[in-house]
Amino acid sequence: MKLYIVRHAVAIDRDEFALQSTEDSLRPITAKGEKKFSRLVQFLKPRIDKLDLIISSPYKRAYQTAEVLRKMLKPEECQLDERLVPYTKLIDTIEMIKQSEKESMAIVGHEPHLSALISNLLSGKDKSFIDLKKGSITCLEFSGSIGAGQGILKWYVTPGLV
C-alpha cells in the first residue's frame, strides 16, 4: 500500500482569523497557499500512479486542500473523517487507514498530528522526528501490515522544492 500524507496548504493567519470571533476549524487556505499546493500536485502527478481514496480532516483548510488533490488526481473516493483532526490518538488514525483496505490513499490533516503519525509508522516511536511544512506531501509504502515501524519513506516534497 502507498500512503500519501498531506499537510493542509497555507491558511489565513490564526491570530488574524481569531479576531473575527470564528471557530478555528473554519479557517480557510489562502489563494497563494492553494496556488503553491496546486503546483506541487502538478509536479508530483507523474509520480503518483493512482489514488484510490482521499480522507480529509473536516476542518475547512484541510478539506479545501483535499479538494485540490481530488480535482487533479481524480481518486475513486473522497471523504471526511474526525480521526484526522489535530491531537487525535495515533492508534485511531492508524485504524482508520487499515480499515480503508485500499492500495493507495491520501490523508489530509494537521500538525503536530501528522508528523507524529509519520514518525510512528516509520520508527514505531511516538516522539516526532519530522516537521511537515504546510502544503507538503509525504509518501510512505507498506509491504505488509500497516502499523508502528512498518512504513518505508519513499519521498517527502514541500511546495518550496517546486
For the segment 138-149, the average pLDDT, to the nearest whole number, is: 95
Chain-centroid distance of CA 41 in Å reads 12
Give which of 97, 65, 102, 63 is closest to 80, Cα–Cα: 63
What does residue 137 show for φ and ψ, rounded to 5 degrees? Answer: -130, 135
pLDDT tens digit sequence for 89-105: 999 999 999 999 899 99
Assign 49 a pLDDT band (cuts: 50, 70, 90).
confident
CA gap 135, 147 in Å, rounded: 24
The CATH number for 143's domain is 3.40.50.1240
Residue 157 parent element (H or E): strand 152-157
The label of the residue with cell 517546486 reads: 162
Backbone region of residue 60 per phi and psi (left: phi > 0; alpha: psi in -120 to 50; beta: other values): alpha
pTM over 0.85? The answer is yes
pLDDT score for 27: 95
Mean pLDDT, residues 125-137 taken together: 92
Give 56's strand partners: 80, 108
**Tally of structural domains, the chain:** 1
**Whose CA is closest to 75, among 94, 56, 52, 59?**
52
22 has a pLDDT exceeding 90: no
Angle, CA of 72, 33 and 71, to the nearest 5°: 15
Domain that holds residue 70: 2-161
What is the 8-class DSSP label of residue 82?
Answer: G
Q: Residue 21 above 80 pLDDT?
A: no
- pLDDT of 104-113, one tens digit each? 999 999 999 9
